Amino acid sequence: MSRTKLDKIDRKILKNLQDNGRMTNVDLAKNAGISAPPCLRRVRVLEENGLIKGYHARINHNALGYGVTVFAQVKLENHGDSELKKFEQRAQDWDRVRECWMLTGETDFLLKIVAKDWDDYQSFLTDELTALPNVSGVKSSLSIRATKEKPGVPIEG
């Protein structure tokens, strides 16, 4: 995607929606210093241009029984494009994998995985992840706690 030219109003809209995706269009327009109809048009253009990729609620994973978060560093045997795409597709299919990042260096992929408990993660690790024919190794790091969870990027006004 090519970089889109953003003016100050677009940046205010993006910052406000990133901080509070449930903000009403009226409040969003007021904060951006414009009226509601042009604000809604700008939001639609930002969505169409791929700057706004979606909206979601941040769910308390502990409240739903997912008390364990693990970061798994995955090493593959074969790094051909088709093998990388196969792994990426498989990661898309696993609901417990919340993030999948392809990396450079010794680790090929970093996965953020949620599980009900350590035994649940171990089951996923042995039955699903390391059972893939191209996975040569996995290093797991159990998260102690999140000290910062801030989605998005810095947006300067």
Tell me, yes or no, whether 39 and 111 share the same domain: no
pLDDT exceeds 90 at position 156:
no
CA–CA gap between residue 28 and residue 32 (Å, rounded)? 6
Q: DSSP per residue over 39-100, as a string?
A: HHHHHHHHHHTTSS--------TGGGT--EEEEEEEEES---HHHHHHHHHHHHH-TTEEEE
Mean pLDDT calculated for residue range 77-82: 95
pLDDT in tens, 9-51: 999 999 999 999 999 999 999 999 999 999 999 999 999 999 9
Distance, CA of 90 to chain centre: 16
- CATH number of the domain enclosing 44: 1.10.10.10
Q: What is the pTM of this model?
A: 0.87
Domain tally, the chain: 2
Question: Is residue 32 located within the same domain as residue 97?
Answer: no
Which has the closest alpha carbon to 109: 88, 132, 81?
Answer: 88
The reply to whether 30 and 78 lie within a common domain is: no
Host domain of residue 103: 62-142
- Residue keyed to tokens 């995607």: 1
